[in-house]
Amino acid sequence: MENLIRLLGDGRFHSGEELGSALGVSRAAVWKKLKALSDLGLELDAVRGKGYRLPSGVELLDRSRIDKEIPDKIKDDVAIDLRMLTSSTNDDVRSIEGDARWRVCMAEYQSGGRGRRGRVWQSPFGASLYFSMLWNVESGLAAMEGLSLAVGLTVLKTLESSGVSGLTLKWPNDVLMDGRKLAGVLLEISGDPTGSCEVVIGVGINLVLGPEQKKKIDQPVTDVKTAAGMSISKNKIAGRLIANLSSMLSTFQGYGFAPYREQWSQYDAFAGRPVVLYIGANTIAGISVGVNDSGAVLIKNDAGTSSYAGGEISLREL
């Protein structure tokens, strides 16, 4: 399957006979493998007389190319696990053995990707970066206030450094382009609320989504290729994200979200705009006036200015 994807990844047409010869299998076996690719969410073009192709091409994860973006001084601190198919990188990253400070798992496809508030994160093969990093924290939940915002800012700055501009941030953890979701963050925390905790930082970045893939997502979305007007290497983004997250987390561990508040506010998609905050079955309307040093969103209305943090809260433009 991996060899087939590599052959089709150049975006050009390949006949069934050519593919069978290259893979050492029959044309019938090739057809079965192509059907399996479609089942994974890959959009294949099949044209009589020309053959098959992946119209957008596919760049597979490559450890050597990822390493080029990681500073030498932290390479020994990072353990990386790359997978072709998995249920969830957030689950897999916990099983990485060793004593590396940062443990990272990435995959080409997830069958059980998770989003915030119990949603499913659509994970078509190769279309996005499915990324999880494990961080061990010794100072309890209080030390993680505002972490999802800091991670979202780090994802945005990583994309900016790779050539994507015009990005904004939606509280608490989405990266937007023209109001459409480009990337999202999910934190999963386990352990002692007042002591040693294990934090899994899940990041999903849409790289190249086809029309049918976008239709399966229940909100307006975009991808890096659309936002940048060109394809950007998945491996470059992955390596830079590892480097930038490890740097950010080292600072966050000592100072929390406060050093990132001003910069986050510069990218705030809803600053000064009417919004509605959903808290369970309740709603609060007002003007979004930024975030505080703990990363809580600030809403101003006739009752004054109040802060609201994390949990089952959803912020939307009114």
Residue 142 half-sphere exposure toward CB, CA atoms < 13 A: 3
**Residue 180 catalytic?**
no
**d(C-alpha 311, C-alpha 116), whole Å:** 10
Active site residue 27: no
- Evaluate whether 109 touches 86 at the Cβ level (below 8 Å): yes
Residues 6+ apart with CB under 8 A from 68: 239
Q: Is 116 a catalytic residue?
A: yes
Instruction: Exactly one of 103, 114, 170, 181 is catalytic; name it.
Output: 181
CB under 8 A, 24+ apart: contacts of 28-35: 30/4, 33/1, 33/4, 34/4
- Cα dihedral sign, 262-272-270-285: positive
Burial class (CB within 10 angstroms; exposed 0-12, middle 13-18, buried 19+) of 303: exposed
For tokens 């209305």, the residue is 301
Given the residues 27, 116, 157, 180, select the one marked as catalytic: 116
Active site residues: 116, 181, 316
